[in-house]
Amino acid sequence: MDHLDELKEFARLHARGQGITAEHTADVLRRITNDTPGDPRSWAAVWTAEGRAAADRGDLLDACRHYALARFPYPADEDRRQAQELGVSTFDSWRRAAGPGIERLEFTDPDGAPYACWAAGLDRDRPLLVVCGGIVSVKEQWAPLLPLLRKLGFAAVVTELPGVGEHTARYGPGSWRTLSDLLDRLATRADVSDTSFLALSFSGHLALRTAAEDPRVRRVLTVGAPVADFFTDAQWWPRVPRITVDTLARLTGSADETELRGLLPEFALDQKLLAGLDIPVRYVASARDEIIPAREQALLRRALPDVRFKVFDDVHGSPAHLGAMRRWLFANLLLLRFTRRRVTRQHSSPIPLSRRQS
C-alpha cells in the first residue's frame, strides 16, 4: 500500500470515529489525487476546503472535524500546519459563540514546552477528569464532550499527548510527568486527589505510567493502549502501519526507524510496575487491532488487581462501534465515581517533580 492509499484507508476510520458519514468521506477522498503541498487536489487542500465550507455555513464543529483530517497524521508541511491552526481557532470561535462554559488553559510543561487545554466545570469540589487522545488526534476532536462532562459532575480538561497539536514537547519515556504536572497546576481549581483519566491509545499508556507514580490518579479508562509488547516485540513490529511508525518517529524526534526502535523499549511497562496499580482500569480492546498486540490484555489481566475489558470486533480504536464504546466507557466512569473506594495509595501526597523517577 502506497502513502496516499494508506492515508485514505486511515482517514476512513478516523472520519467515522468523528461522526463523518462514509458517503461524505468517500466523496472527499475521490477528489484527492496527491499529497503534494500547494496542489489544490492534495490531501490537506481538499480536506481544508471542506472545513472552510462547513465554517461558511455556520457548522464550526464540522469544520473542526475536517481540519483535523487535513492535518492528519501530523503537520509535516505548511498546509497541514495551517489546517491545525484553523482547527484550534475554529473551535475557539465555536466555544465563544456557545457562551460561557468552556475555557482555554495555557501552561508550560516540566521541560519548558508550552501546551494548551480546553476545560469546563472547574471547581475545587469537583473530581477531575482528564481526557487525552492518541498520537494523531488533537484535543479539538474530544473537547465537544466538555459540556456533557460538566453536567455529569466533573471538572473536565481535554489535553494532548506531547508532540501532538499545540503540545510542542517531544514525546518520550518520561512524558508521563506532563500529566502529573497538569494535576499540580489544577490543584486549586479541581479535586485532583480524585482524578480519572479517559485516555485513548498511546495516552492510555501514559495514563497508566502516571498512575504508577502519582497517587492522585484513582482510575484509568482507555481504548487500545499499548503496554509492553508493542514497544518490545520485534516479531509484531513489521505489522505496524507505516503511518504509525512515521508518526511515532516524528513525535519522539527519532532520525529514522532504527533510532525509533532503539528508543521504544524504554516505554514498556513491566509487570512489577503494573502490579503496584491498586486502582480500577477499564480497557476497550479491538479484536482486529492492527497496531496493538492482543497480548497486552493478557499482561494487564496478570498484573492488575482490578481490570475489566470490553472487546469489539473491529480495528484499532473500534471506530465502527463508537456509540457502544462511549456508552461502556461512560457507564464505567460513572459507576466507578459513585462507588469509588478510598484506597491508600503508595504515597499520601503528590511527589515533587524533582523527586519523581522516569
Q: What is the pLDDT of residue 350?
A: 45
Strands lying side by side in the sheet with 123-132: 102-108, 114-120, 155-159, 123-132, 190-200, 217-223, 281-286, 307-312
Task: Please count the residues of the chain.
Answer: 358
Taking residue 217's Cβ as centre, other Cβ atoms within 10 Å add up to: 26
pLDDT surpassing 70 at residue 57: yes
Angstrom distance (rounded) from CA 152 to CA 149: 5
Residue owning grid cell 501546551: 115
Phi, psi of 118 (to 5 degrees): -110, 140
C-alpha distances out from residue 139 to 46, 104, 130, 161, 224, Å: 22, 11, 11, 9, 18
| C-beta of residue 178 within 8 angstroms of C-beta of residue 110 | yes
pLDDT surpassing 50 at residue 264: yes
Q: Which of the two residues, 123 and 99, has the higher pLDDT score?
A: 123
What is the per-residue pLDDT across 142-195, written as a single tens digit (0 to 9) for each? 999 999 999 999 999 999 999 999 999 999 999 999 999 999 999 999 999 999
Q: What is the pLDDT of residue 280?
A: 96
Mean pLDDT of 271-297: 94
Q: What is the pLDDT of residue 320?
A: 87
pLDDT surpassing 60 at residue 357: no
What is the per-residue pLDDT across 217-262, written as a single tens digit (0 to 9) for each? 999 999 999 999 999 999 999 999 999 999 999 999 999 999 999 9
pLDDT surpassing 90 at residue 352: no
Q: Which helix (H) or strand (E) holds 104?
A: strand 102-108
C-alpha distances out from residue 54 to 20, 87, 248, 352, Å: 12, 12, 31, 46
Mean pLDDT of 285-307: 95
